[in-house]
Amino acid sequence: MCGIIGFNWEDNSLLNKVLKEISHRGPDDSGKFTDKNISLGFRRLSIIDLSKDGKQPMSNEDGTIWIIFNGEIYNFKELRKELETKGHKFKSNTDTETIIHLYEESSSLEECLKKLNGMFAFCIYDSKKKVLFLARDRAGVKPLYYYSNNKKFIFCSEIKGILKDEEIKREVNLNSVYSFLTFRENIEEETCFKGIKKLIPGNYLTYNLVAKKISKKTKYWDINFKKEYHSEGYFIKAFRNLINDSIKKRLMSDVPFGAYLSGGVDSGTVVSIMKKFCSKPIETFSVGFEEKGYNETDESRFLAENLNTNHHELIIGENSIFHLPKIIYHLDEPMSDPTSIPIFLLSKYTKKYCTVILTGEGADEVFAGYHQYKFMKIHKNFIRPLPLNSRKVLSQAVKLTHPKILNSFFRFSSELGEKGIERFDNFLSTNSYSKQYLNQVSIFNEEEKKELMKKNYPGNYYDKYKNNFNKNHLLDSCLKFDFKGNMVDDLLMKLDKNTMAFSIEGRVPFLDYRIIELAFKTPENLKLTPLNKDKYILRKAVKDLLPKQTYTRKKKHFFVPINKWFRNELLQIKEDLLSENYIKKQGIFNYKYIDKVNKNFDNSRLFYARQLWSLITFQIWYKKFIENEKIKI
């Protein structure tokens, strides 16, 4: 696990500045390579082959091919054996060197990439062809950003590294800000910085060093909806075999490892299977809040005791909010998922014990674990056939329902208040799948963004994403939408940036590409049953590994008490960063909408708390990255 940097000119001073900026990604070693038209840099976090033989940038025997690589290739030993039979000689025991020889042996980079099982972002410099190849893993576990104009090309594991080139202006890309306001993270290819882009997961890029331009961007992997129809037992067996192999592969490490344990079926499955391959108790870690009603460590402690792990708990209080500016700095782009705070602090705590951590991320996106999937199914089967007047009766019934009953369907739903009911009306009253979905998941919907934004709104997201939802594969459409959006740019970037802030490598066994492909081959009714049992095939497959109360436990979102913080810790920074004077000076938002939120806060506390949190995280990001100012809470 490392950080990489490269650009198409020779500049040792800039290389040193960037390597210093991303040193948290690799504190164990650094390396550089420069040529007439190329500079490559690398920061190393030693995980496999702790010797100096793993030093990067690394080349082939004659020095014509160079690589800088961030990630892990879990099947590199099998690939190495195959390559050795074909005459390739190895000088190290690293997975990095395997990629070089595999590239030499393959007819194309695409052929090479399809043989790799792992998480990765790397650059290959082919001095004979005068090209750079940048590649990113199928699921997007590892980040990779780049900037390109008609003369320069620069890429890095983190945007803050690219910004060390002072010729690149720090300007806001409002198109991507609209995406952030919708999803709480930006899911577009363009970042929130003008001119800086992400390499999309499952893609590679070719940069021609002679022509000084990107000559090709190619997709080498994608999800498809082609189903296979077998028995339930077939899919249970296939999944068990793959998840066992996936976790076994991800225990490949020469440094201490452990797991984040939430107490649910996903992380519980990971830890239970880890036990099979480890002679000592697994180090497990969980986090909770002092705030009553926001602490779920009882569930993780119960599971840890059942699985006989060496368990560690971190309980954090209201002062955890003071870490927000540092967290936003590490995230690079504005992201308003408040669970970044507990993950950041848990990672800091975990570093005392482990350098590699396995987690349960990805299971909900491939096996249908979220509430919105159930609501989409209910709408299609039961609400869509109803006339509009009947739907209004349903909406009125919700308004009259006791809060305790509402919360039994969705935790804290009563605190969404009047605005929550308004969103529910929007959900009920439309037959547009994209509008149904976005009104469930968006922080600001279309109407709210038009009110909030000072500059003209560039289009309608209901129309933009309408082709993403196929009525014949509605569940899989929703899963794919979240897999390529929220999972990559929220869950995985939150994991990568917050663990790497403390030089920890996070591994995600549910996102082995073989498991992803199996999940999308599985019929929809085996993921979300006709009776709305979520992650059905996953729960069935692991029921003998976990206590009954764990594998039958309903999905519980990990909530952060931001609605309470706005009355105390966040009050002053809200008044500073969202003041009428600053908002008018900045020129991005309409203060009228913010004033309306403040006045109506008590009527929809959780709903408006999420919107205010998004605005505050954006403002901290703006202060730090655009105005280049330090900020404290």
Residues annotated as catalytic (active site), given as ranges: 2
Encoded tokens for 589: 């938002």
Q: How far apart are the first and last CA of the chain?
A: 31
- Residue identified by tokens 């669970």 is 339
Dist CA 540 CA 552 (whole Å): 10
Cβ atoms within 10 Å, residue 296: 19
DSSP SS3 for 5: strand
As a whole number of angstroms, the distance between CA 353 and CA 526 comes to 39
Sequence-distant (6+) residues with CB within 8 A of 180 are 186, 192, 333, 334, 335, 336, 614, 618
Tell me how far apart the alpha carbons of residues 329 and 497 are, in angstroms, rounded to a whole number.
10
Read off the tokens for 229. Answer: 């129809």
Q: Tell me whether the omega of the peptide bond preceding residue 385 falls within 30 degrees of 0, making it cis.
A: no
Residue 228 near residue 521, CB atoms below 8 Å: yes
Phi, psi at residue 4, to the nearest 5°?
-125, 150
Each residue of 123-137: b (16+ CB within 10 Å) or e?
bbbbbeeebbbbbbb
Residue 609, token pair as written in the block = 């708390």
Q: In Å, how far from its chain's centre is CA 103?
A: 28
b (16+ CB within 10 A) / e for 569-595: bbeebbeebbeeeebeebebbbbebbe
Phi–psi pair at 448, nearest 5 degrees: -70, -35
- Nearest Cα neighbor of 298 from 548, 511, 620, 549 is 549
Collapsing DSSP to helix, strand or coil, 280 comes out as coil
Residue type, 111: E
- Residues 312, 318, 322: CA angle, nearest 5 degrees: 95
Provide the 10 A C-beta neighbour count for residue 626. Answer: 15
3-state helix, strand, coil in the chain (%, to 5): 50, 15, 35
Q: Give the whole-angstrom CA distance, residue 496 versus residue 373.
A: 26
Residues 6+ apart with CB under 8 A from 174: 453, 455, 458, 588
| Half-sphere CA count of 380, side-chain side, radius 13 A | 19
Cα gap 279→82, rounded to integer Å = 30
Any idea of the CA torsion for 516, 521, 526, 527, to the nearest 10 degrees? Answer: 30
Task: Tell me how far CA of residue 185 lies from CA of 194, 327, 338, 500, in angstroms.
Answer: 16, 14, 11, 19
Closest CA to 614 of 422, 412, 443: 443
Short-list 24, 16, 65, 64, CA closest to 44: 24
| Calpha distance 3→27 (Å, rounded) | 10
